[in-house]
Amino acid sequence: MMDMIFPDEYKRVGHSRELHDAEDKRIYFLTKYMIVEHCNAKRSYTLYEVNHHGEKLLRDVESLKVLASGEEIVHYDKELNIKDRTLLIETASNICKGNINTVIFTGIDKHLTFVHKPDLSAILDIEIVDVVPPEPSWLASVVRRLEKSGIFGDLTIRFTENLTDLRRFEGENTVFPCSSSGLKGKCLDCDTIEDDGALLVGCEISKTLFESRFPERKYSFVNICPFKSDVFKPSKPFITRCCRSEKSGIVTINGIRGAMVHWGASEFDVAKAIWDLIADIRKNEEEQA
């Protein structure tokens, strides 16, 4: 079975109203695929794969291979961001039923591209791992805003959220790292722990701070650090955050590759971390192929 064909760049896709038996059978050097629009009552299309040779801007066509034609092709009737590869694959997958195996898309800039035999498995799921409150999760909010901007369009990814709600641990004897969370309980940055039996919910830094401030107190501990979490184990590639900036970068947790950013990371840092993660994953896939 032929794999999905979805050109990396729409500059590889040519568009012609008709193919004629003219003596000049040259084509623009970047063109790898040609969409031919037939001027008939139903406006049908033929999609070709093009082989050509030469060194100039216009090159000699060696062969044209038909990939789809007629009722196999649908031209989507709305303009989309054709740099959003996940959107186009998902849209084409919903349309390609029965004899239909190809969807032509028009971009906001009027350029054309297509998805032939869409394959949803080409989309890589990335898990956003964070805590709430605050709500919405800071990291999820940043990633969703970046996603909406289109900065991840070329990566063929989609995001799911794995958020740990720390309100499940709220209580009079619970100690959280920081009062800015608004959680009900005590906080290391502003409260004094006078009795044994506290439940500390935090990371190794929180644990060290607790023991430094209250060395005589007996307590229990729930670790929410992504590296040693008692409440989270990744099952797919992920992005998360840590309070220790030296741990930022591409990491492996539970045998799964992910990206770690600092709690104070900027939007640029988050975007770069995701791009670096996808590059790392794709490189490993190529090496294992």
Q: What is the pLDDT of residue 22?
A: 57
Find out whether 159 and 274 touch, Cβ atoms under 8 Å: no
Q: What is the pLDDT of residue 24?
A: 64
Q: What is the pLDDT of residue 37?
A: 92
User: Residue 253 is inside which H or E element, if any?
Assistant: strand 249-253
- Of the candidates 104, 40, 23, 21, the one whose C-alpha atom is nearest the C-alpha of residue 67 is 104
Looking at residue 207, its amino acid is: K
Looking at residue 26, its amino acid is: R
Q: What is the pLDDT of residue 233?
A: 83
Q: What is the pLDDT of residue 19?
A: 63
The strand pair at 256-262 and 249-253 is best described as: antiparallel
Burial of 175 from C-beta contacts in 10 A (0-12 / 13-18 / 19+):
buried
Q: pTM, whole model, 2 decimals?
A: 0.89
List 65's β-bridge partners, or say none: 49
Q: What is the pLDDT of residue 18?
A: 72
**Cα–Cα distances in angstroms (integers) from residue 216 to residues 51, 178, 192, 197, in the given order:** 77, 21, 13, 11
Per-residue pLDDT of the chain (289 residues; tens, 9 = 90+): 469 999 999 999 999 887 665 566 788 889 999 999 987 767 899 999 999 998 899 998 999 999 999 999 999 999 999 999 999 999 999 999 999 999 999 999 999 999 999 999 999 999 999 999 988 899 999 999 999 999 999 999 999 999 999 999 999 999 999 888 889 999 998 989 999 999 999 999 999 999 999 999 999 999 999 998 988 888 899 999 998 999 999 999 989 999 999 988 999 999 999 999 999 999 999 898 7
pLDDT tens for each residue of 191-230: 899 999 999 999 999 999 999 999 999 999 999 999 989 8
